Amino acid sequence: MPAVAVRSYAAFAVHVRFDDGMTENVLPVPWSVIPEGEREAYPARLEEFVDAYRERLVRLYAEYGPQSATAKCGRHELFAHPMSLIVLERLVEVRSRFTLTARWNGELPDRWLNDLSGPWGIAEML
C-alpha cells in the first residue's frame, strides 16, 4: 500500500523528499480502519481513488502541497507526505471517515487530519 501511495504521490509533488519516519507514524491509523477483507485489494482501490480524483488532487497539492506558499507557512504538513493520499481516500468513504476520526484521536496530531479534511471540503474532524 505505501508503494502505491508513493508512486501516485510523485505525480502531485515532483522532486519532493519526504520524511520516511512519518510513514511509520501515520500508516497504522488509516490501515486500521480498512476492513481485513478489503486490505489485499486496497492498493487497487487507492489507484482508483487517485484516477477518479486526479484533477482535484492536482489542484489540492498545488495549493497545499510541499511546494506551495501555504506549506511555507508551516501548515498542512501531511500534504508533504504520500500517506496523505491514503488519508484522503479514507475521508471520501463516509463510513470510514468517522472510524478514521475515532482512531486518529489521540494517536496523531489533530491538525494533520484537520489540515487535510478542510481543503478536501469536510468540516474539521477533531
Write the CA distances from 80 to 10, 33, 37, 98, 102, integer angstroms: 11, 22, 30, 24, 23
Is 125 within a domain?
no
- Confidence (pLDDT) at 15: 62
Is 126 within a domain?
no
Is 30 within a domain?
yes
High-pLDDT (> 70) share of the chain, %: 93
pLDDT over 70 (residue 88): yes
Q: How many domains does the chain have?
A: 1
Is 66 within a domain?
yes
Q: Provide the domain limits for residue 100.
A: 2-120
Is 69 within a domain?
yes
Residue-wise pLDDT tens digits, 26-76: 999 999 999 999 999 999 999 999 999 999 999 999 998 888 877 777 778
d(CA 79, CA 126) in angstroms, rounded, equals 18
Q: Average pLDDT, whole number, for the chain?
A: 87
Model pTM above 0.95:
no
d(CA 125, CA 113) in angstroms, rounded, equals 7
